[in-house]
């Protein structure tokens, strides 16, 4: 478990963007959001925010990965950026969560639980459960899950001891209440912060949020960017108050 003494709180920017059919417009918008929020230590963008699930142009979407990574790495220094991208690998096309920090990709995690109703099984190769890991940046322990994976308790258990769990998502409007309840429950159960970024497309739930270990929410569907912070004293307080 992380030692929080003298730990500096992290400012968080949660992006709640819709996705344009033009990939370059989405990339430019993401870069502008990074530039407009220099105070943000952690920036989380929705799942496949640059391309959406553009199955009619799937090769184009996966080919856009290299340009996106090069551009984003050039614009991220000490900040942490979390998002997912369509990525072509030797094993197939993956929906890959990517962490960029200090101008490089420092962590990649492929989506394991593909969403049947969204035809993801038809187009994507699933990642491996063993590859879902906690990772550490500057003494802070992170976990990351992607959208539908929020429903699976075996993944929650992997994040015991995390300080922050990042959730890029593209969660549908008909199940809006589910994403809100599940993200709150994950934060309370693991006594950590959950930072969830969901798509604002018309058929998506929005519901992007920053959830404290006590289950308190910062959430506003009317905003493109939701600001908050990770307070390490709050994590320590909750873990002292209720020992698990």
For range 38-52, the mean pLDDT: 98
- pLDDT above 70 covers a percentage of the chain that reads 98
Given this model, what pLDDT does residue 1 score? 47
Between 42-46, 67-71, 115-119, the lowest mean confidence (pLDDT) is in 115-119
Query: Does residue 235 register a pLDDT over 60?
Result: yes
2 in any annotated domain: no
215 in any annotated domain: yes
4 in any annotated domain: no
For range 4-25, the mean pLDDT: 91
Q: Residue 54's domain is classified under what CATH number?
A: 3.60.110.10
* Spatial contact of 175 and 151, defined as CB atoms under 8 Å apart: no
The pLDDT confidence band at residue 24, using thresholds 50, 70 and 90, is very high
Given this model, what pLDDT does residue 37 score? 97
Q: Residue 77's Cα: distance from chain center in Å?
A: 18
Query: Does residue 162 register a pLDDT over 80?
Result: yes
Number of independent structural domains in the chain: 1
89 in any annotated domain: yes
117 in any annotated domain: yes
Given this model, what pLDDT does residue 3 score? 56
Given this model, what pLDDT does residue 109 score? 98
194 in any annotated domain: yes
For range 160-168, the mean pLDDT: 97
114 in any annotated domain: yes
98-157 per-position pLDDT tens digit: 999 999 999 999 999 999 888 899 999 999 999 999 999 999 999 999 999 999 999 999
82/8: higher pLDDT: 82
Query: Does residue 7 register a pLDDT over 80?
Result: no
For 184, the domain range is 10-241
1 in any annotated domain: no
Given this model, what pLDDT does residue 67 score? 98
Query: Does residue 71 register a pLDDT over 70?
Result: yes
pTM assigned to the model: 0.95
The pLDDT confidence band at residue 244, using thresholds 50, 70 and 90, is confident
Q: Average per-residue pLDDT in the chain?
A: 96
């Amino acid at each position: 478990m992380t030692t929080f003494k003298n730990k500096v709180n992290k400012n968080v920017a949660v992006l709640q963007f819709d996705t344009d059919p033009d990939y370059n417009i989405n990339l430019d918008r993401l870069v502008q959001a990074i530039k407009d929020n220099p105070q943000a230590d952690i920036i989380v963008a929705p799942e496949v925010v640059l391309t959406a699930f553009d199955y009619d142009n799937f090769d184009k979407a996966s080919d856009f990965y290299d340009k996106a990574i090069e551009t984003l790495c050039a614009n991220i220094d000490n900040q942490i950026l979390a998002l997912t991208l369509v990525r072509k690998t030797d094993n197939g096309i993956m929906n890959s969560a990517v962490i960029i920090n200090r101008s490089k990709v420092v962590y990649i995690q492929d989506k394991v639980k593909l969403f049947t109703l969204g035809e993801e099984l038809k187009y994507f190769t699933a990642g491996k459960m063993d590859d879902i890991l906690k990772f550490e940046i500057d003494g802070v322990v992170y976990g990351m899950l992607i959208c539908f994976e929020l429903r699976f308790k075996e993944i929650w258990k992997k994040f015991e001891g995390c300080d922050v769990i990042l959730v890029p998502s593209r969660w549908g409007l008909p199940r809006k209440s589910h994403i809100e309840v599940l993200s709150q429950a994950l934060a309370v159960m693991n006594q950590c912060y959950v930072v969830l970024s969901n798509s604002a497309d018309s058929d998506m739930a929005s519901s992007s949020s920053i959830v404290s270990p006590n289950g308190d929410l910062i959430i506003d569907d009317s905003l493109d960017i939701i600001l908050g912070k990770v307070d390490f004293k709050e994590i320590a307080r909750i873990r002292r108050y209720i020992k698990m």
